[in-house]
Structure 1
Amino acid sequence: MQKIAIITDSCSDLTFETLNQYHITMFPIRIIYKEREFLDKIEITSEEMYANLQKEIPSTSLPDLAYCEKQVAKLKAEGFTDFIIITVSSNLSGTLNALKILGEHHTDVNFHFFDSLTLGYPQGVIAIEAGKLAIAGENVESILTKLEDVRKRTHGYIALDTLEYLKRGGRLGKTTATLGELISLKPIISSNDEGLLFTYCKARGRKQALSKVKQIILSYLDKGKCSLWILQGNALKDGYALLEELKSHPNLNFISLETVGPSMGVHTGPNVVGFAILEEA
């Protein structure tokens, strides 16, 4: 009989409360500074990372495999037979390939990998839905099939204050980033069907960017029922204001305010507002 563990990496930005609620295990990305490295969310918070950005911009790297090994051993001891691992887009990170190698060392259990083809909280939404399906008693094949549909109905956008951090992290072409900075544009970034980042649109100034984010959200809500997660990174006031403006929409099944985690915030930089949205089936 299958006993299914749902696992995701910390790029998903799920809080420990949410991870516990949906019985999801998290593999932490490493946040690397010159003097030391930290396990994302476990040894460093978003607030700490943002506070240090003026002193040093860290890099990120693959999940800590020693930590992952301990988590796998714990799950195996608890009787789990099948691991469904939902990763950050394989076109943006080597996490999926690294965890496949980890899985090859554990032939006594079954590893199943699901490429989210996105990153940040949209990835987290997919993991939440997987958790719900596992709790409901769905088998592995059913969960993986249903996640394909969930992925199509999950969308994410984020308004950046600058392109500098995406440029430094290699997530966006340097020419594109430089041109945007020259004319003071505020880009709104999303991911495409191939799991690559692209600039959805550009706004002149922060006020216009926040207004555009709201418009994009309404383009989904006005069509039908949705669950919505407002995202903020070092921009709590703006994130909360957006939530207040939208919380009474009749097509909202759920809304919450979430924080961009350290591994994502390294690449987005501070003062960002965005959202993840799930169109209900």
Structure 2
Amino acid sequence: MKGRFVRKEAELHSCLCTKEGEFMVARVKIVTDSTADIPLDLVKKFNISVIPLKVVIGNETFQDGVNLTPESFYQKLDEMDDLPSTSQPTPYEFETVYRRIAENDHSNDTTILSIHLSSQLSGTIQSATLAADEVKDAVKVEVIDSKRASYAIGIIVVEIAKMAQNGAGLSECKAKLEMLLKRTNVYFLVDTLEYLQKNGRIGKASALIGSLLKMKPVLSLTEDGQVYPYHKARGRKKALAVIREAVKNQYGDQPVHVGVSHADAEESGEQLLRNVADGLNTQSMTTTKIGAVIGAHTGRGTVAISVTPAE
């Protein structure tokens, strides 16, 4: 398995380089937001622009992933009397990033694909759309509602950013993006539904309130990006078995990328990875931390697995 990863990295580097050994300039630029929970090394490697959402704790406002790390957020969560609130970036913040990309581009034919948190969960898409209209004189921006959250967005964004960095054109990137949006699945477990309920993001999982007892709900997202109960399992072990069966039925032996994200629950994330990813034809595995914005709505202890086709 390791040898195959090394070969794939070598092939990628070969494709990215010109005869002089310099990296090609992609005509498609990728923008996302902090709720994609993409590890910083991948953000830098694939030149992804990330716009932070905001978290309000008491009288203080923080930028997700900028001056509020996942670690510091979950520490603060223990000390809070009231639940934190969140807000989307302003259109001006999006406009600033879009114009910076346009100013740094010298090809004059670049398109920005701006891929964001589900519109069912946030107004981020609205801000991005308003900003895209403001900058149409400088650069073309296509705003995409991922209808997903956390690394279920990130796993898609990374794949499209790889293509863009490798010189793929707009039509290629959009075709791949459309396919991944249809065929990427996410399943997650929360320790409590309290956060989803109080923050108003519980969606179609509201029917579970008051009936959990020892049940461990396996949650997912609908096609339009709402939270819904995929299955009610009795205990964590059975919940993991449900997720393993679901992804195996959906992907079989086809090559996939797997991402596991956790909210201050690294051991639980590793357990999820062992129980689910090992049964798949996994081409890459990424473990990431759920940031403050998503964590404010799911709470500590949440774990999620995202799976997307590798070819």
Same fold, TM-score > 0.5, yes or no:
yes
Q: How big is each residue's C-alpha offset from its partner over 1:189-246, in whole Å with a ceiling of 9 and x where there is no partner?
A: 1111122211111223334334433443444454432111122212111212333455
Match of 1:147 among 177, 182, 199: 177
Deviation at 1:184, TM superposition (A): 4.0
Maintained 8 Å contact 1:227/1:254: yes
Separation in 1, partners of 2:189, 2:150:
13
Deviation at 1:250, TM superposition (A): 6.2
Separation in 1, partners of 2:261, 2:163:
24
Maintained 8 Å contact 2:261/2:287: yes
Q: How big is each residue's C-alpha offset from its partner over 1:78-124, in whole Å with a ceiling of 9 and x where there is no partner?
A: 11632110011122211111111112221221111111111111111
2:19 maps to which residue? Answer: none
Match of 1:44 among 55, 62, 68: 68
When residues 232 and 100 of structure 1 are mapped into structure 2, their CA distance, relative to the original with a 3 A threshold, is same
Match of 1:82 among 106, 111, 115: 111
Pair member with larger Rg: 2
Separation in 2, partners of 1:139, 1:268:
37
Q: Does 1:125 align with 2:125?
A: no
Structure 1 alignment gaps of length 5 or more: none
Kindly provide the amino acid, as one letter, of the partner of residue 104 in structure 1: D
Maintained 8 Å contact 2:73/2:292: yes
Separation in 2, partners of 1:180, 1:261:
29
Deviation at 1:265, TM superposition (A): 0.9
Q: Secondary structure at the match of 1:104?
A: helix
Deviation at 1:15, TM superposition (A): 1.6
Question: With structure 2 as the length reference, what TM-score do the two structures score?
Answer: 0.82
When residues 280 and 15 of structure 1 are mapped into structure 2, their CA distance, relative to the original with a 3 A threshold, is closer
Maintained 8 Å contact 1:225/1:279: yes
Separation in 2, partners of 1:249, 1:266:
31
Maintained 8 Å contact 1:167/1:177: no
Separation in 2, partners of 1:178, 1:252:
35
Kindly provide the amino acid, as one letter, of the partner of residue 162 in structure 1: T
Separation in 1, partners of 2:242, 2:176:
31
Q: How big is each residue's C-alpha offset from its partner over 1:40-97, in whole Å with a ceiling of 9 and x where there is no partner?
A: 1111111111112233221111025554444333312211632110011122211111
Q: How big is each residue's C-alpha offset from its partner over 1:140-179, in whole Å with a ceiling of 9 and x where there is no partner?
A: 2332222111111211111111100000110115953532
Q: Does 1:227 align with 2:257?
A: yes
Structure 2 alignment gaps of length 5 or more: 1-24
Maintained 8 Å contact 1:28/1:64: no
Q: Comparing 156-165 with 136-145, which one deviates more in the overlay? A: 136-145
The correspondence of residues 231-246 of structure 1 with structure 2, limited to 5 A, is 231-245=261-275
Separation in 2, partners of 1:95, 1:144:
20
When residues 221 and 3 of structure 1 are mapped into structure 2, their CA distance, relative to the original with a 3 A threshold, is closer
1:19 maps to which residue? Answer: 43
Q: Secondary structure at the match of 2:209?
A: helix
How well do the aligned residues superpose, as a CA RMSD in angstroms?
2.3
Separation in 2, partners of 1:127, 1:208:
31
The share of aligned pairs that are identical, in percent, is 28
Match of 2:236 among 194, 206, 228: 206
Question: With structure 1 as the length reference, what TM-score do the two structures score?
Answer: 0.90
1:5 maps to which residue? Answer: 29
1:167 maps to which residue? Answer: 197
Runs of 4+ in structure 1 off by over 6 angstroms are: none
